[in-house]
Amino acid sequence: MSKLLRMGEGFSDYHVLGAYVHDGNHFLLMIPRHELKPWLQELVIYHGSDLKGLLQVFPTTGAGKGVNMGDVLCRAVYHEARFPMDQLRVRFFSAPHQILIPHARDQQGLLTFEVSEFLSVLEMAAVFRTILYPREQKALYELLNLEDASEEQFYWGRFMGFLSQEAKDMLNAWRIRQWPKNRIKLLYELVDYVAFYQTY
C-alpha cells in the first residue's frame, strides 16, 4: 500500500492532508470529505486490479467527550479481520461512533460495499446534490419518510410542481419513491461526501 502514497506512480496526492503507512497492508489517509469520490476513482483506475482488502471510511471525531480517534482506529483494525482478501471492499461510517457497533449498520445494508457499488452510490449522490437545491433535498426527505401513503401521494404531485424539469426527470428515472428507507438514508449521508458538478 505504501506505493499508493508516493508521487509519480499515476496517483496524485494534491488532495491528501496527511498520510501514514503502518505496514505493507495498512495505511491511514486524511483527505477532505468532498475528495472521497475522486480519490477512490483514481485509486480504482490506477490500482484497482492489484488491490484486494478493505477500505474503511469514517470522519474524524473532533474535540469533545465520547469516542476518540484512538477508539475508532482500534475498532477499525479489530473488525477488518472478518473479511476475506478476495476483492476490494469499502466500509462506510457516516459518524465515528458507528464503528463501535457496526453490526447495526451492516444489518441495514448501510455499511459494506464492493468498491464499484460504492462509487456508483457516490456518483448518484453527486448528481442529486447538484440538481436539487438544499431546501428541495430537505423537503424530499420529509416527503419520502411520510408514513401515510395517501398523504405522500398528495404532496408528491405538489412537490414535483416546484422542481425543474431536470430534477423531475432524475427522480422519475431513479423511481426514488420505491426505494427502501435505508437506501434513501445512505444517499442523504453521502451528499456530504461529494462535491457539486460544474454546470455550464
Q: What is the pLDDT along the chain (200 residues), one digit of tens a residue?
A: 444 544 334 456 667 888 888 887 888 899 999 999 999 998 898 887 788 889 999 998 876 667 788 888 888 888 787 787 888 999 999 988 888 888 888 888 889 999 999 999 999 999 999 999 999 999 999 999 998 888 888 899 999 999 999 999 999 999 999 999 999 999 999 999 998 876 54
Q: Which amino acid is at 185?
A: K
Q: Which three cell numbers stand for residue 62?
A: 473532533
Q: Which of 102, 141, 142, 121 is nearest to 193 (CA)?
A: 121
Residue 200 CA neighbour count, 13 Å, CB half: 0
- Helix or strand run (H / E) with residue 172: helix 165-174
C-alpha 144/C-alpha 9 separation (Å) is 45
Return the CA Rg of the chain.
Answer: 19
Query: Rounded to two decimals, what is the model's pTM?
Result: 0.85
User: How far from each other are the two terminal CA atoms of the chain, in whole angstroms?
Assistant: 38
